[in-house]
Amino acid sequence: MRARASLLAVALVLAGALAGGGGALADAPAPAAERLEVVRQLDGFGLIGVAVTPAGRIFASAPAATSGNKVIEIDPRTGAITPFPAAGWQVSGQDTRHCWFAPQALWVDDAGALWVLDSGRPTLPSPAPTGPAKLVKFDLAGNRVERTYDFEGAVDAGDSLNDLRIDNRRGLAYLTNIDREGSLVVLDLKTGKARQVLIADRSTRADPAEHLHIGGKVGLLRSGKPPLVHADGIEMSPDGQWVYYRTLTDHNYWRVPAAALADAALPAAKLSASVEFLGKGPITGGIIMTPEGTLYGGDLEHGGIVGLRSTGSTLASHVVPQTEAIAWGDGFSVAGGYLYIADARLSEKVFANSLPKRGVATIYRIRLTDLK
C-alpha cells in the first residue's frame, strides 16, 4: 500500500478496458502475451495509487498534481474519468477538509469503504506542508464522506504519511511515515486519536549504506545526492495477525504483530523487540499480500512484479511472468480475482539520472492465477 521541491522527491514521498481472459477458450490458459492487461493509460496524471472495489469501481490518485484532478474514478467499461468525489475537491483551498492537497494512498477495506490518505506534502523535501494531513473515509453507496481523521498532536510539518491499511477487527489504521527518521502511525478509528510508534527504529529507518539503483547506477536527486526514504510500503496479512512494512531505499523486509501495534500500553522497547526481520529482497515501494499469503511488489530497480515469501530471515523472491512492461509498480489492489497495478514509471522522469521514457503511467491488471 503506500505522494510528494522536485518531481523526484515527489516520487519518493511515496515513497499506479476490463476485458478478461484475452478471449481464451474455456478451461484454457490465456496466451502469455495477454496475461497482463491494460486497464487505463494515464499520461500526464501523475499516477501513484490505485484502489478497486469488489464491485469493480476503480479509483486512482496523483499526489504531486499541481493542477487538474488529484483523485479520479475510472469507468471500467468506457475508461471515462470522473473527479472524485467531486470537481471542487481537486482545487486546494481554505476548506481543508473538503479538498485534496496531496492524496497519496488509496485503500478499499474489507467492508467496502474507500479510504484516501492525504499527506499534505506534494513535494519532499519541503519547507512546509501545503495542507494538513488527513485520512478520509468514503461510503461509496453515495460517494459520501463518512468521517475525516486528522493527526493533530501526532503528526506535524516534519512528517509525511505515505501508505495505510485498515484493521477493522481492532478498529485501527496503520500508516507509514517516510520522513524524519521513519515511523509507523497507529490511528484509533473510534476516538480519532493517533500515535507514532517505532520512531527511528531499525525497521522504519532506511539503511543509509544501501541505495536505490536506476539503470544499474545509484539513483540521484536533482541535488546530486541519493535519496534516503524511510517507512514506505505497508500491508496486513489476510488473517489480520501481522503488519508487514519496509522502507523505500534499502532491501530489508519486516513485520510486527498487529496485536503489539494495537497495545498502546506496550513499552517502546518491547514493541521494537517484537519486530521480525524477514530478510533482504528486491527494492519495492507499495506492497500487497494476496489471499494465499504471498507478498507482491514492483521491482523498482529492474522493473516487473516480484512475489516474496519468507522462512525465518531468508526471503525468497520470484519474478512474475509477463510483467516486464511495468517500470515502477507502486500502488496495488486485489479485487475480483485480479491484482491491479499502478505503474507510475517514476524511474523515467524524476531522477537526475532518469532512464529514457519508454511508456506512460498505466494501470494494469493480471489474474491472481497467473502470478506464479
Looking at per-residue pLDDT, the higher value among 168 and 23 belongs to 168
In degrees to the nearest 10, what's the CA dihedral of 276, 282, 285, 289? -60
Residue 128's pLDDT is: 64
List own/partner pairs for 179-185 with CB under 8 A and 24 or more apart: 179/13, 179/121, 179/124, 179/230, 180/230, 181/205, 181/230, 182/206, 182/230, 182/231, 182/247, 183/159, 183/230, 183/231, 184/231, 184/234, 184/243, 184/245, 184/256, 184/261, 185/151, 185/154, 185/155, 185/161
Which element (helix H / strand E) includes 259?
helix 258-262
Residue ranges per structural domain of the chain: 7-20+35-370
Residue 206's pLDDT is: 97
- For 239-280, the pLDDT digits (tens) are 999 999 999 999 999 999 999 999 999 999 999 999 999 999
Phi, psi of 12 (to 5 degrees): -90, -5
Yes or no: say if 69 and 85 are a contact pair by the CB < 8 Å rule.
no
**Over the chain, what is the mean pLDDT?**
90
Of the given ranges (16-20, 165-169, 354-358), which has the lowest mean pLDDT? 16-20
Residue 8's pLDDT is: 30
- For 194-248, the pLDDT digits (tens) are 999 999 999 999 999 999 999 999 999 988 999 999 999 999 999 999 999 999 9
Residue 101's pLDDT is: 94
pLDDT at 139 over 60: yes
For 264, counting Cβ atoms within 10 Å of its Cβ (0-12 exposed, 13-18 middle, 19+ buried), the class is: exposed
- For 18-51, the pLDDT digits (tens) are 222 222 222 334 444 569 999 999 999 999 999 9
∠ Cα 24 26 28 (to 5°): 65
Alpha-carbon gap, residue 194 to 171, rounded angstroms: 12
Alpha-carbon gap, residue 344 to 362, rounded angstroms: 7
CATH 2.40.10.10 fits 7-20+35-370, yes or no: no
Average pLDDT over residues 335-355: 96
In 3D space, the residue among 324, 306, 167, 172 whose CA is nearest the CA of residue 246 turns out to be: 306
Strand partners, 70: none
- For 72-88, the pLDDT digits (tens) are 999 999 999 999 999 99
For residue 324, the Cα-to-chain-centroid distance in whole angstroms is: 20
Average pLDDT over residues 323-352: 96
pLDDT at 291 over 60: yes
Residue entry with cell 478499499: 108
In degrees to the nearest 10, what's the CA dihedral of 124, 242, 146, 362? 50
pTM of the full structure: 0.90
Residue 7's pLDDT is: 30
pLDDT at 2 over 60: no
Alpha-carbon gap, residue 119 to 326, rounded angstroms: 26
Output b/e per residue, 105-124; b: 16+ Cβ within 10 A. bbbbbeeebbbbbbbbbbbb
Cell (9 digits) for 187? 490511528
